[in-house]
Amino acid sequence: MSYSSPPPPPESPSPYGGSGAGNVGAGGFFSALFDFSFNEFITPKVVKFVYVIAAILIPLIWIVWVLVGFSQNAGLGLALLIIGAVVVIFYLALIRMTLEFYLAIVRMSEDIHHRLPPR
């Protein structure tokens, strides 16, 4: 005779920003943005957008600095080209880790609120 565990219960939506992944459309973003009772978390909805903006702007700013550096002095431009690449990678990693930290805290909060019995 074979024993198997029961199937997991279906995931019910959390009142704190939807499911743990935070996959909602643009309407969910704006409704969470203007939710003055703070029943929904907006962090899961904006993390991807913020990281994409950072991943575009930081290298663009670096390229501008490199071009300005080369226009001033070839040595300065070369230094900005080499050192700037390391700085860009460092800042992107720092931004990524910070956003993941914020998202982890929000997901833990959603999970805690999901597991607590309703009051």
Backbone Cα Rg of the chain: 22
Measure Cα distances from 117 to 15, 59, 111 in Å: 13, 47, 12
Q: Burial, 63: exposed, middle or buried (Cβ in 10 Å; 0-12, 13-18, 19+)?
A: middle
More confidently predicted of 87 and 2: 87
Kindly report, residue by residue over 23-81, the tens digit of the pLDDT.
445 566 777 778 788 777 888 888 999 999 999 999 999 999 999 999 999 999 999 99
**pLDDT digit string (tens) for 75-101?**
999 999 999 999 999 999 999 999 999
Does the reported pTM lie above 0.75?
Answer: no
Give the span between the Cα atoms of 100 and 66, in whole angstroms. Answer: 30
Q: Are 80 and 61 in contact (CB under 8 A)?
A: no
